[in-house]
Amino acid sequence: MSSMEKINLLPPKEQKYVHNVFAECPQEIKNDLKVIEVKKGQNFINAGNECKYVYIILKGKACGIDMQLQGRVYMFKEFKPGRFLGEFECMADIPDYSITVQAVTDCILLVMSAKQYVRWMKCDGNALFLRTQKLLYELTIQTRDSRRFFLSTCKERLFQFLVEWFEKEKKDGICLHKTREELSNEIGFVVRTIDRNLKKLSNEGYISLRSGKIFVSRKQYEKMKMHLKQNLTYKED
């Protein structure tokens, strides 16, 4: 299977979009595409390293991570199949990667050299328009979400995290299989603060705590979502 044929690993919606982006890509650039596999937990982009490649996630999930003081790792963004990584630096003429990206699961990536990517964008108006449109959309969403995040209390961040998690799982009465340390990395508050707020949420009926584990029913999910809707820092898409 050629590198371009590997695009068929993507979900249907993302597959169609990526095929449209590559519709007028010069064949010599397509021929230089490579497919690599990255194991769970491996960094394939490191902040501060030279931006040499643009990656497209074909299968699996990755996340942006930030090393905090005292060795704490903070995961601040999840990247799913169809996501282009490294192109922002290319388009903005930034020489080094701005974030570190780590595989959350085993990943399959389509890889192109940064120089080839820039060359492609300069000669392909269709691809340039589609990628610029997508980048502007992502930047708008990122700015909005960052504003919400920094204005949020620990309680609100827990609500946001648990609501998004419930909507991904789509099950009633599910248990969150994350340690307090992992939750701390996800939402940016220390473990002691998270424990205190989880107890409050349990007492207020938003979640259930059993042997220290977090359970959320559909009724509790709806209650948290309603709280977020009534909060000025939250807006449904």
Rounded to the nearest angstrom, the gap between the alpha carbon of residue 164 and the centroid of all alpha carbons in its chain is: 12
Q: Domain for residue 237, yes or no? A: no
Number of domains in the chain: 2
Structural domain of residue 206, as residue ranges? 152-229
Q: Are residues 135 and 167 in the same domain?
A: no
Which two three-digit tokens encode residue 186? 């996800």
Note whether 142 and 180 are same-domain residues: no
CB 65 within 8 A of CB 102: yes
Residue 236 lies in a domain: no
Which residue in the block uniquely carries the two structure tokens 């820092």? 233
116 and 173 part of one domain: no
Q: How far apart are the C-alpha atoms of 137 and 70, rounded to whole Å?
A: 35
79 and 39 part of one domain: yes
CATH number of the domain that residue 217 is part of: 1.10.10.10
Of residues 102 and 169, more confidently modeled = 102
Whether 26 has a pLDDT exceeding 60, the answer reads yes
Both tokens of residue 86?
A: 């490294």
Q: Is residue 49 part of a domain?
A: yes
DSSP string of 147-213?
Answer: HHHHH--HHHHHHHHHHHHHHHH--TTEEE---HHHHHHHHS--HHHHHHHHHHHHHTTSSEEETTE
Q: Is the same domain home to 197 and 145?
A: no
Average pLDDT over residues 111-124: 96
Return the pLDDT at 208.
Answer: 93
Same domain, 49 and 109: yes
Residue 210, SS3 per DSSP: strand
Contact 179, 193 (CB under 8 A): no
Confidence band, pLDDT 50/70/90 cuts, at residue 89: very high
Amino acid at 179: T
Residue 162 belongs to some domain of the structure:
yes
pLDDT digits (tens, 9 = 90+) for 67-80: 654 455 556 678 99
Residues 107, 38 share a domain: yes
For the chain, the straight-line distance linking the first and the last C-alpha, in angstroms and rounded, comes to 38
Q: Same domain for 161 and 137? A: no
| Cα–Cα dist 190/95, whole Å | 34
Same domain (yes/no): 81, 173: no
Model confidence over 136-162: pLDDT tens digits? 988 887 776 666 666 678 888 898 889
**Cα 9 to the center of its chain, rounded Å:** 19
Beta bridge partners of 111: 34, 55
Residue that is last in its domain, among 127, 149, 171? 149
Domain boundary at 149, 181, 196, which? 149
